[in-house]
Structure 1
Amino acid sequence: MSILWAIIAGLVIGLLAKLVIPGRQPIPLWLTILLGVVGGLIGNALAGAFGVADTDGIDWVRHFFQIGAAALLILVVTPLWSRRGA
Protein backbone atom coordinates (compact mmCIF):
# COMPACT_ATOMS: atom_id res chain seq x y z
CA MET A 1 0.00 0.00 0.00
CA SER A 2 2.92 2.37 0.64
CA ILE A 3 3.98 2.09 -3.01
CA LEU A 4 0.52 3.27 -4.06
CA TRP A 5 0.76 6.26 -1.71
CA ALA A 6 4.24 7.08 -3.03
CA ILE A 7 2.86 7.09 -6.59
CA ILE A 8 -0.08 9.31 -5.62
CA ALA A 9 2.18 11.69 -3.68
CA GLY A 10 4.66 11.72 -6.58
CA LEU A 11 1.87 12.59 -9.00
CA VAL A 12 0.64 15.49 -6.85
CA ILE A 13 4.14 16.80 -6.07
CA GLY A 14 5.27 16.44 -9.69
CA LEU A 15 2.21 18.22 -11.10
CA LEU A 16 2.51 21.04 -8.57
CA ALA A 17 6.21 21.37 -9.44
CA LYS A 18 5.34 21.63 -13.13
CA LEU A 19 2.82 24.38 -12.27
CA VAL A 20 5.44 26.57 -10.57
CA ILE A 21 7.87 26.28 -13.49
CA PRO A 22 7.13 28.78 -16.27
CA GLY A 23 6.70 27.43 -19.76
CA ARG A 24 6.01 23.95 -21.04
CA GLN A 25 7.80 20.83 -19.84
CA PRO A 26 7.38 18.15 -22.51
CA ILE A 27 8.01 15.13 -20.31
CA PRO A 28 5.66 12.15 -19.97
CA LEU A 29 3.40 11.63 -16.97
CA TRP A 30 5.38 8.63 -15.73
CA LEU A 31 8.54 10.76 -15.58
CA THR A 32 6.64 13.53 -13.78
CA ILE A 33 5.51 10.98 -11.18
CA LEU A 34 9.03 9.56 -10.82
CA LEU A 35 10.56 13.00 -10.36
CA GLY A 36 7.77 13.88 -7.92
CA VAL A 37 8.56 10.80 -5.81
CA VAL A 38 12.29 11.56 -5.83
CA GLY A 39 11.59 15.23 -5.10
CA GLY A 40 9.38 14.19 -2.21
CA LEU A 41 12.15 12.06 -0.74
CA ILE A 42 14.70 14.86 -1.15
CA GLY A 43 12.25 17.36 0.35
CA ASN A 44 11.68 15.09 3.36
CA ALA A 45 15.44 14.81 3.90
CA LEU A 46 15.86 18.59 3.67
CA ALA A 47 12.97 19.17 6.08
CA GLY A 48 14.56 16.74 8.52
CA ALA A 49 17.92 18.47 8.20
CA PHE A 50 16.29 21.84 8.96
CA GLY A 51 14.22 20.40 11.80
CA VAL A 52 10.82 21.10 10.23
CA ALA A 53 9.83 17.58 9.17
CA ASP A 54 7.27 17.11 11.95
CA THR A 55 5.31 20.13 13.12
CA ASP A 56 1.88 20.66 14.60
CA GLY A 57 -0.73 20.77 11.85
CA ILE A 58 0.14 20.74 8.17
CA ASP A 59 3.85 20.60 7.38
CA TRP A 60 3.86 23.45 4.86
CA VAL A 61 7.62 23.94 4.92
CA ARG A 62 8.20 20.24 4.20
CA HIS A 63 5.78 20.43 1.27
CA PHE A 64 7.55 23.51 -0.10
CA PHE A 65 10.85 21.63 0.08
CA GLN A 66 9.31 18.65 -1.72
CA ILE A 67 7.80 20.74 -4.52
CA GLY A 68 10.98 22.81 -4.84
CA ALA A 69 13.16 19.72 -5.12
CA ALA A 70 10.83 18.19 -7.71
CA ALA A 71 10.81 21.47 -9.66
CA LEU A 72 14.61 21.52 -9.74
CA LEU A 73 14.68 17.92 -10.92
CA ILE A 74 12.17 18.70 -13.67
CA LEU A 75 14.24 21.73 -14.73
CA VAL A 76 17.32 19.51 -15.03
CA VAL A 77 15.66 16.51 -16.69
CA THR A 78 13.41 18.30 -19.23
CA PRO A 79 16.23 19.47 -21.54
CA LEU A 80 17.85 16.02 -21.35
CA TRP A 81 14.53 14.37 -22.23
CA SER A 82 13.98 16.76 -25.13
CA ARG A 83 17.44 16.02 -26.58
CA ARG A 84 17.17 12.24 -26.34
CA GLY A 85 15.94 11.90 -29.93
CA ALA A 86 18.47 14.30 -31.45
Structure 2
Amino acid sequence: MTILFYLIVGAIVGLLGKFLAPGDKDNIPLWLTILCGIGGMILGGFIYQAFGGDGSDGLDWVQGIVAVVTALVLVMIASTVTGRNTKSHV
Protein backbone atom coordinates (compact mmCIF):
# COMPACT_ATOMS: atom_id res chain seq x y z
CA MET A 1 0.00 0.00 0.00
CA THR A 2 2.83 2.41 0.87
CA ILE A 3 4.66 1.72 -2.40
CA LEU A 4 1.49 2.37 -4.39
CA PHE A 5 0.92 5.59 -2.43
CA TYR A 6 4.46 6.82 -3.21
CA LEU A 7 4.07 5.94 -6.91
CA ILE A 8 0.76 7.73 -7.32
CA VAL A 9 1.47 10.76 -5.16
CA GLY A 10 5.08 10.86 -6.39
CA ALA A 11 3.85 11.11 -9.98
CA ILE A 12 1.52 13.96 -9.04
CA VAL A 13 4.22 15.77 -7.04
CA GLY A 14 6.72 15.28 -9.88
CA LEU A 15 4.30 16.70 -12.43
CA LEU A 16 3.59 19.67 -10.16
CA GLY A 17 7.32 20.23 -9.75
CA LYS A 18 7.79 20.00 -13.52
CA PHE A 19 4.93 22.44 -14.11
CA LEU A 20 6.26 24.96 -11.58
CA ALA A 21 9.92 24.73 -12.64
CA PRO A 22 11.14 27.89 -14.39
CA GLY A 23 12.11 27.67 -18.04
CA ASP A 24 11.54 24.79 -20.43
CA LYS A 25 11.75 21.57 -18.42
CA ASP A 26 9.32 19.62 -20.61
CA ASN A 27 11.97 17.47 -22.24
CA ILE A 28 12.81 15.16 -19.37
CA PRO A 29 11.09 11.78 -19.67
CA LEU A 30 7.98 10.97 -17.67
CA TRP A 31 9.73 8.21 -15.70
CA LEU A 32 12.37 10.71 -14.56
CA THR A 33 9.64 13.17 -13.57
CA ILE A 34 8.00 10.45 -11.45
CA LEU A 35 11.35 9.58 -9.84
CA CYS A 36 11.89 13.28 -9.05
CA GLY A 37 8.43 13.35 -7.47
CA ILE A 38 9.10 10.29 -5.33
CA GLY A 39 12.51 11.71 -4.38
CA GLY A 40 10.86 15.04 -3.61
CA MET A 41 8.41 13.33 -1.29
CA ILE A 42 11.12 11.41 0.55
CA LEU A 43 13.65 14.26 0.75
CA GLY A 44 10.90 16.77 1.48
CA GLY A 45 9.75 14.62 4.40
CA PHE A 46 13.27 14.51 5.82
CA ILE A 47 13.70 18.27 5.35
CA TYR A 48 10.32 18.91 6.97
CA GLN A 49 11.21 16.79 9.99
CA ALA A 50 14.72 18.26 10.24
CA PHE A 51 13.20 21.72 10.69
CA GLY A 52 10.85 20.60 13.44
CA GLY A 53 7.82 19.44 11.48
CA ASP A 54 5.96 16.79 13.38
CA GLY A 55 3.16 16.15 10.94
CA SER A 56 -0.51 16.41 11.69
CA ASP A 57 -3.56 14.22 11.60
CA GLY A 58 -4.74 13.87 8.03
CA LEU A 59 -3.20 15.88 5.21
CA ASP A 60 -0.26 18.08 6.19
CA TRP A 61 -0.15 20.99 3.72
CA VAL A 62 3.21 22.33 4.82
CA GLN A 63 4.86 18.97 4.27
CA GLY A 64 3.15 18.76 0.87
CA ILE A 65 4.48 22.17 -0.15
CA VAL A 66 7.99 21.20 0.96
CA ALA A 67 7.70 18.00 -1.12
CA VAL A 68 6.59 19.93 -4.23
CA VAL A 69 9.39 22.49 -3.85
CA THR A 70 11.92 19.68 -3.38
CA ALA A 71 10.56 17.92 -6.48
CA LEU A 72 10.80 21.21 -8.39
CA VAL A 73 14.48 21.45 -7.50
CA LEU A 74 15.03 17.81 -8.47
CA VAL A 75 13.30 18.36 -11.84
CA MET A 76 15.55 21.36 -12.49
CA ILE A 77 18.64 19.32 -11.58
CA ALA A 78 17.51 16.37 -13.74
CA SER A 79 16.88 18.67 -16.68
CA THR A 80 20.33 20.22 -16.32
CA VAL A 81 22.14 16.91 -15.82
CA THR A 82 20.44 15.17 -18.75
CA GLY A 83 21.19 18.18 -20.97
CA ARG A 84 17.77 18.03 -22.53
CA ASN A 85 16.90 21.70 -22.16
CA THR A 86 15.66 23.16 -25.43
CA LYS A 87 16.57 26.68 -24.44
CA SER A 88 17.88 28.54 -27.45
CA HIS A 89 21.39 29.94 -27.13
CA VAL A 90 21.12 32.47 -29.95
TM-score by length of 2: 0.81
Counting only pairs closer than 5 Å after superposition, residues 6-25 of structure 1 correspond to structure 2 as 6-25=6-25
1-structure distance, mates of 2:74, 2:46:
15
Give aligned pairs, total: 83
The residue that corresponds to 2:65 in the other structure is: 64
Q: What's the CA shift for 1:51?
A: 2.2
Give the unaligned 5+ runs of structure 1: none
Higher relative contact order (CA closer than 8 Å, sequence separation 6+): 2
AA aligned to 1:39 is G
Alpha carbons 1:43, 1:62 under 8 Å: kept: yes
Q: What's the CA shift for 1:23?
A: 2.8
Give the unaligned 5+ runs of structure 2: 85-90
Q: What's the CA shift for 1:47?
A: 1.1
C-alpha RMSD of the superposition:
1.6
Q: What's the CA shift for 1:56?
A: 4.5
Q: Tell me the percent identity.
A: 40
Alpha carbons 1:52, 1:59 under 8 Å: kept: no
Cα pair distance change 1:76/1:56, threshold 3 Å: same
Bigger mean CA offset, 7-16 vs 74-83 = 74-83
The residue that corresponds to 1:52 in the other structure is: 53
Higher helix share: 1
TM-score by length of 1: 0.84
Alpha carbons 1:44, 1:53 under 8 Å: kept: no
Moved over 6 A (4+): none
